[in-house]
Amino acid sequence: MLDMNWIRENEDIVRKTAEWKRLEFPLAELLAWDDRRREVRRATEQRRAERNALTKEVERLLRGGDNEGAEQAKAQVRGIGSELAKLEAELAEAELRCGELMLLAPNPVSADTPIGPDEGANVELRRHGAPPMFGFRARDHVELGELHDMIDLPRGVKAGGPRSYVLKGARLLLHLAVQRLALDVLTERGFTAMDVPVIVRPEALERTGFFPGGRDQTYELTGENRWLAGTSEVSLVSLYSDEILELDQPLRLAGMSACFRREVGSAGRDVRGLYRVHQFSKIEQVVMCRSDAAESEALLQEILANAEHILQLLELPYRVMAVCSGDMAMKTHKQYDIETWMPGREAYGETHSASNLLDFQARRSGIRYRDENGRLQYCHTLNNTAVATPRILIPLLENHQQEDGSIYIPQALRPYMGGVEQIELK
């Protein structure tokens, strides 16, 4: 959420942001309702002051024995009370409409964000590692999973419907191993590991900027007024809503959770195998810091580096992309994606997304801290994937396959796999 005064002072930026992010934001309607809210608030405050003054006058008249004058003043008080009731109803309506429209206001993008309509305008910043050159016909992750009896898509669909899966044997161990590796890396770097709720209140999704725009991607528990979160970011931020934090040092959190997304609109090669599924597991980095642009930018680079380090431990080739305005969510100020090479797709596929939201979520959530002068300020929030699985298993299996069908296990994963160096073909 943005500050209303800031919106009024920066109308052109707000309009451009909505255009760049391909959003329909009714700025004129918001400004009109805010004008109405200010006007009615002034009238309400004025009439309240008049009522209070008359109430004191009634008391004075009664003390002086002027009962007739007191009755006349009481009648005036009652008249003002009737007017106030109407004004307060109008003010409540204006407050409600302003609040609803404010939730649609997009977060401005950073000065170094590429401007473009879609992912085709994202800018590659750097690459690490090179895609493998196989001297044999490489299999994709679905073939490898079936070959090793590690994945069962038909039975997953039988139990859960389309885009469901079953991981078993070595693949399940890999699924757990990459999560343990990510947790260990983050805890060594000062993050507090947390297992958080995935069934959340709608307010939690609204506070973090996933609602109202993301309802079509979110599963609702009908009749419960609860929703299934698509990332532990929702819970991690909401844990601290309406609190005043001590932020002498940034608050670094690592959320471990199952995640659920409807993936409406996905099609083509994205729906094969494990790339886009409805249920997955993720270790998420969430950071809260002071309202300092330089500090939050440094932390964005830090959480991005954490994700790169994990990919390097997994010995996977990847590239870092600066995400353009049209490929961003409305809540995002600046974003990097990491795309990992997936031989089965013959392309890089997104595996991580790092975002700086400035104080956008904190304003919605009421998360503040006291600055060096004791004044309350909204903090900045950031987030990034540490690892999301089973998607990360796609490049892990495909890049590390060998000609005989066996799969090499990176050294960093071996302690979590009982020391196994490769998955042999049975």
pLDDT of residue 144: 95
DSSP-assigned states of every residue in 142-199: HHHHHHTT-B-HHHHHHHH-TT---B-THHHHHHHHHHHHHHHHHHHTTPEEEE--SE
Q: What is the pLDDT of residues 178-218, one digit of tens each?
A: 999 999 999 999 999 999 999 999 999 999 999 998 999 99
DSSP run (H or E) holding 211: none
128 has pLDDT over 70: yes
Take residue 89 and report the two structure tokens written for it. Answer: 């109803």
**Taking 90 as the threshold, does the pLDDT of residue 425 lie above it?**
no
Q: Model pTM?
A: 0.92
Which among 146, 151, 149 is positioned nearest to 167, based on CA atoms? 151
Please name the amino acid found at residue 362. Answer: A
Catalytic residues: 261, 276, 350, 353, 391
- Average pLDDT of the chain is 95
Cβ burial of 17 (10 Å; 0-12, 13-18, 19+) is buried
Taking 70 as the threshold, does the pLDDT of residue 268 lie above it? no
Q: pLDDT tens across 91-115, in order?
A: 999 999 999 999 999 999 999 999 9
Which residue in 353, 348, 337, 341 sits closest to 317, CA to CA? 341
Q: How confident is the model at residue 266 (pLDDT cuts 50, 70, 90)?
A: low
Enter the DSSP assignment of 143.
H
- For the segment 32-46, the average pLDDT, to the nearest whole number, is 97
Please determine, for residue 265, whether its predicted confidence score (pLDDT) is greater than 90.
no
Q: For the chain, how big is the Rg over CA atoms in Å?
A: 28
